[in-house]
Chains A and B, each alone.
Chain A
Amino acid sequence: DTGVSQDPRHKITKRGQNVTFRCDPISEHNRLYWYRQTLGQGPEFLTYFQNEAQLEKSRLLSDRFSAERPKGSFSTLEIQRTEQGDSAMYLCASSSKVVRASGGSSYNEQFFGPGTRLTVL
């Protein structure tokens, strides 16, 4: 288990340019999540996939953002025409393990990658 990896770790770009980030989940994890974390804030949910299907998108994900997971393994997050407000840490997480507790409770434990820090100049 090598953990969730993200590439690149840092990206500096000029306003108006397109950027693409990659996330490689833990092997055989079927769910993959993207979050955005701005300075001084907690992570905010953007979207998630189960295998290759994108099941939920936050309203934070404007038309300039697109995420894909074409083969149900790695995922890419593309931002078109970047704006200074897009500067943030983009976090990826994956899950597969269902944790069950007493009373029938269960949830998918999310394992986070180190993030990609985007700076838009």
Chain B
Amino acid sequence: AQSVTQLDSQVPVFEEAPVELRCNYSSSVSVYLFWYVQYPNQGLQLLLKYLSGSTLVKGINGFEAEFNKSQTSFHLRKPSVHISDTAEYFCAVSVRYNTDKLIFGTGTRLQVFP
């Protein structure tokens, strides 16, 4: 079975500071990795994904993430955050032979302060 761990339930940060949201996963088979963002009263929006190839992937809104197979991690980073980045962020995986079933972590609440 697959699982996703997001150790930080909340990450407070000041505007224009860098941020890293951590994600670790567990799986005995190859997986695809995703980061989603959820703004208040809105649905989940895909930020970025890792399918194969380069381990550094870039997404929307200036976010990027790096896949590290040896550490089974897929941490999300942004060099300079904005107030508008305040939201809930979810890391997710799917196995390569069943991409219809997403398995999510518990989420990290990013709070950006002025």
A binds B: yes
Interface residues of A (CB under 8 A from B): 3-4, 31, 33, 35, 40-45, 48, 55-56, 91, 93, 95, 99, 101-103, 105-115
Docked-complex contact A42 and B90, CB < 8 angstroms = yes
A101 to B52, CA, bound (A): 7
Partner of B106, one of A40, A55, A111: A40
Docked-complex contact B44 and A43, CB < 8 angstroms = yes
B residues less than 8 Å from A112 (CB atoms): 36, 43-45
A residues less than 8 Å from B101 (CB atoms): 45, 48, 56
Closest residue of B by beta carbon distance from A107: B99
Please encode chain B, from 20 to 63, with 1 for each CB lying within 8 Å of some chain A CB and 0 for all others: 00000000000010001000011111100101110000000000
Known pairs A3-B43, A102-B52, A103-B53; list 17 more (Cβ under 8 Å).
A41-B106, A42-B105, A43-B90, A43-B104, A45-B101, A45-B102, A48-B101, A91-B43, A93-B44, A99-B49, A103-B52, A105-B51, A107-B49, A107-B94, A110-B46, A112-B44, A113-B43
Q: A4-B43, A91-B43 are in contact. Are A107 and B104 (CB under 8 A)?
A: no
A83 to B106, CA, bound (A): 23
16 of the cross-chain contacts (CB-CB < 8 Å) are A35-B102, A42-B4, A42-B105, A42-B107, A43-B90, A93-B43, A99-B49, A103-B53, A105-B51, A107-B32, A109-B46, A110-B46, A112-B43, A112-B44, A112-B45, A114-B42
B92, CB-defined interface residue at 8 Å: yes
Docked-complex contact B43 and A114, CB < 8 angstroms = yes
Q: Give the dominant DSSP class at B's interface.
A: strand
A111 to B42, CA, bound (A): 12
A residues less than 8 Å from B36 (CB atoms): 112
Docked-complex contact A105 and B32, CB < 8 angstroms = yes
A residues less than 8 Å from B52 (CB atoms): 101-103, 105
A111 to B43, CA, bound (A): 9
Please encode chain B, from 81 to 113, with 1 for each CB lying within 8 Å of some chain A CB and 0 for all others: 000000000101010100111111111000000
- Shortest CB-to-CB span from A52 to chain B, Å, is 16
A103 to B52, CA, bound (A): 7
A87 to B49, CA, bound (A): 30
Docked-complex contact B41 and A108, CB < 8 angstroms = no
